[in-house]
């Protein structure tokens, strides 16, 4: 673990379990990450600690409770949570928050943005600018899940590459590209990471499950004479 920054935050287990639970604080953080570039919240690690206590165990139903409460307390925010265990046996929960394609907020109408290691309220004209900026968001090109291109499903990748090279609608210069160059050419990868589009096309099942939001898919249909149909 490392210190808190623009994509990582730590929260005590007491924030989501027991008499001092503060679900609104967790919801505010999820909104802030979803508004910015996404991030991870480690629930069960104190602010001044690097790891959870060695004897800390996560209640069996807490992960599902976190998912449910965040859905109840936020708008346009999707999260995935999982229990993680350290080498010394201590358990904590990783809450993964992808960047939202919409305008995230709490159900009480509050907006936040993650800046450095803090969640800053968004007020006044900033809310209007946020809504305007969201119109330029390209969901399919995001890499918030940080899935390496080397983790692509080998079978799906082979099928994709064969289909491209066999198509009579693809230029010869494109067919000459290597497998990895084809991923870049069709925006299925950026740098070392698969994009959301890449996860849909050549990712593994567990990667697709982490996308959170579903895209709208459009396609062109042709008849046996290669004429485009409505």
Over the chain, what is the mean pLDDT? 89
pLDDT surpasses 70 at 136? no
- What would the mean pLDDT of 183-198 be, rounded to a whole number? 92
Say how far apart CA 137 and CA 143 lie, in whole Å.
Answer: 13
Residue 218's pLDDT is 63
Residue 137's pLDDT is 63
pLDDT surpasses 70 at 87? yes
Residue 208's pLDDT is 87
pLDDT category at 20 given cuts 50, 70, 90 is confident
Pick 108 or 129 by higher pLDDT.
Answer: 108
Residue 141's pLDDT is 81
- What would the mean pLDDT of 174-180 be, rounded to a whole number? 93
Sheet of 39-43, strands arranged across: 8-11, 39-43, 91-97, 80-85
pLDDT surpasses 70 at 214? no
First to last CA, the chain: 53
Rounded to 10°, the helix 23-35/62-73 angle is 70
Give 194's DSSP letter. Answer: E
The share of the chain scoring above pLDDT 70, in percent, equals 93
pLDDT surpasses 70 at 217? no
Residue 143's pLDDT is 81
Q: What is the C-alpha R_g of the chain?
A: 21
pLDDT surpasses 90 at 119? yes
Residue 224's pLDDT is 83
Give 144's DSSP letter. Answer: T
pLDDT surpasses 70 at 213? no
Return the SS3 of 125: helix
Which residues share a beta bridge with 124? Answer: none
Residue 26's pLDDT is 97
Q: Write the CB contacts of 50 (distance below 8 Å, at least 6 apart in sequence).
A: 1, 2
Residue 220's pLDDT is 72
Look up the pTM and report it.
Answer: 0.61
């Amino acid at each position: 673990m490392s210190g808190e920054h623009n994509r990582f935050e730590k929260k005590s287990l007491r924030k989501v379990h027991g008499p001092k639970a503060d679900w609104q604080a967790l919801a505010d953080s999820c909104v802030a990450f979803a508004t910015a570039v996404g991030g991870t919240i480690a629930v069960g690690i104190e602010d001044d600690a690097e790891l959870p206590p060695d004897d800390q165990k996560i209640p069996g139903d807490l992960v599902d409770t976190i998912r449910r409460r965040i859905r109840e307390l936020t708008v346009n925010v999707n999260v995935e949570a999982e229990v993680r265990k350290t080498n010394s046996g201590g358990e904590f929960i990783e809450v993964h928050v992808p960047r939202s394609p919409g305008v995230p907020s709490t159900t009480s109408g509050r907006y936040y943005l993650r800046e450095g290691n803090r969640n800053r309220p968004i007020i006044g004209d900033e809310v209007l600018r946020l809504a305007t900026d969201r119109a330029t968001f390209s969901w399919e090109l995001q890499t918030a899940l940080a899935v390496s291109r080397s983790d692509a499903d080998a079978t799906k990748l082979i099928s994709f590459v064969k289909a491209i090279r066999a198509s009579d609608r693809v230029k010869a210069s494109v067919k000459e590209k290597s497998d990895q160059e084809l991923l870049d050419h069709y925006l299925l990868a950026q740098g070392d990471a698969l994009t959301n589009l890449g996860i849909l096309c050549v990712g593994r099942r567990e990667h697709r499950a982490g996308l959170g939001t579903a895209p709208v898919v459009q396609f062109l249909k042709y008849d046996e004479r290669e004429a485009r149909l409505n």
